[in-house]
Amino acid sequence: MTFDEYLVYFGDILAQPEKYERYQNEEYLQYAKMNWTRMSRWIKRFEPSEDMKRYVQNITEEQHWIVITEPWCGDAAHSVPQIYMMVKDNPNIDLDIQLRDAEPFLIDDYLTNGGKSIPKVIIRNDVGHDKAVWGPRPAALQAIFEQMKAEGKEFLEIKEALQKWYNDDKGVAIQQELLSLLA
């Protein structure tokens, strides 16, 4: 789906959670509500770096950027709108949002340490070859996540640390990593 279609889908979940089995679970619904707020904030406030703008403006061949995500994913609430804001003005970039938990289950080809961690960004050229794969979160944050997990930290404490990191980073790391991958 397009980013706009994803927003409609996401909004429908919030308006009619009874239509979506996963969101009948109050915990998942609360995640989605928080993530809608986070995503909306990034759409209003995120400004790609000059380096990222210049790189994206100079893409003249067609590219297909696939983002695998779900509305309940806290990492995606930060990364997905930032990625959209990076590429939205280049007509040569087709941004395709795919749900992790729906067919065609593309996530199965892009596992992280054997798991279906999201978001994942797959950047393909016009003939369908992967140019770059990124995700589920910036490397520095992934290291923090793995360390906290290894220390046996509670999920709530890990989530709070990750959210704080994203707010402090303001999208700098994801842009640097994408630029490095695409260089």
- At 155, which amino acid appears? F
Residue 183 predicted with pLDDT over 90:
no
Q: Judge whether 162 lies within some domain.
A: no
Q: Judge whether 63 lies within some domain.
A: yes
Q: What is the pTM of this model?
A: 0.94
Q: Judge whether 157 lies within some domain.
A: no
Residue 93 predicted with pLDDT over 90:
yes
Q: Which tokens is 59 given?
A: 């893409």
Q: Judge whether 49 lies within some domain.
A: yes
CATH number for the domain spanning 14: value is: 3.40.30.10
Q: Judge whether 83 lies within some domain.
A: yes
pLDDT (average), residues 18-32: 96
pLDDT (average), residues 24-51: 97
**Alpha carbons 56 and 86: distance in angstroms, whole number:** 7
**Alpha carbons 153 and 1: distance in angstroms, whole number:** 36
Q: Judge whether 24 lies within some domain.
A: yes
Q: Which tokens is 67 given?
A: 């983002």
**Alpha carbons 144 and 125: distance in angstroms, whole number:** 32
Q: Identify the domain containing residue 65 by its residue range.
A: 3-136+174-182
Question: Structural domain tally of the chain?
Answer: 1
Element (H, E) at 93: strand 93-99
Q: Judge whether 22 lies within some domain.
A: yes
pLDDT (average), residues 170-174: 98
For residue 38, which of 62, 6, 8, 73 has the smallest C-alpha distance?
Answer: 73
For residue 79, which of 142, 148, 144 has the smallest C-alpha distance?
Answer: 142
Q: What are 116-133's pLDDT values in tens digits? A: 999 999 999 988 899 999
**Alpha carbons 141 and 33: distance in angstroms, whole number:** 23
pLDDT band at 163 (very low <50, low <70, confident <90, very high): very high
Residue 142 predicted with pLDDT over 90:
yes
The per-residue pLDDT for 50 is 98
Q: Judge whether 156 lies within some domain.
A: no
pLDDT (average), residues 27-34: 96
pLDDT (average), residues 85-113: 96
Q: What percent of the chain has pLDDT over 90?
A: 97
